[in-house]
Amino acid sequence: MAGGRGSHAKRVRIRRELFAVERVCWLCLEPLDMSITDPRDPRFVVVDEELPVSKGGDPLDRSNCHLVHNRCNGRKGSRILQRGAFADIHMRGGRTETSRDW
């Protein structure tokens, strides 16, 4: 894992760059609401690593980082998933709904 002098500043820069270009969650492909400021909200936007740090991913490698909903990030955990892996689940009012009725 990367760390040391300058790593916080680089992570902040990566986050800023991602916020400037990404508009949909990398995992569910639903729109991101950048105005949500409560980190407890499932729709809060966070930076996630495509290759998790626990599996050797570099959190300071811009190409390894994507914006996702807080809930999608929690659902992913430390798994390695492809873009759109949760496209079958839609975020509605802070809860997940499947694409079919149960």
In-domain check, residue 102 = no
pLDDT value at 1 more than 60: no
The percentage of residues in the chain with a pLDDT greater than 90, rounded to a whole number, is 77
| Boundaries of domain holding 35 | 23-89
pTM above 0.85, yes or no: no
pLDDT digits (tens, 9 = 90+) for 40-62: 999 999 999 999 999 999 999 99
How many structural domains does the chain have? 1
Q: Which two tokens stand for residue 101?
A: 């009725």
Q: Which residue has the higher pLDDT, 5 or 8?
A: 8
The two three-digit tokens of residue 5, written as one number: 């002098």
Task: Answer whether residue 96 shows pLDDT above 70.
Answer: no
Query: In this predicted model, which residue has the larger pLDDT, 92 or 21?
Result: 21
Structural domain includes residue 44: yes
**Cα distances (Å, whole numbers) of residue 57 to 3, 27, 48, 102:** 12, 17, 11, 37
47 located within any domain = yes
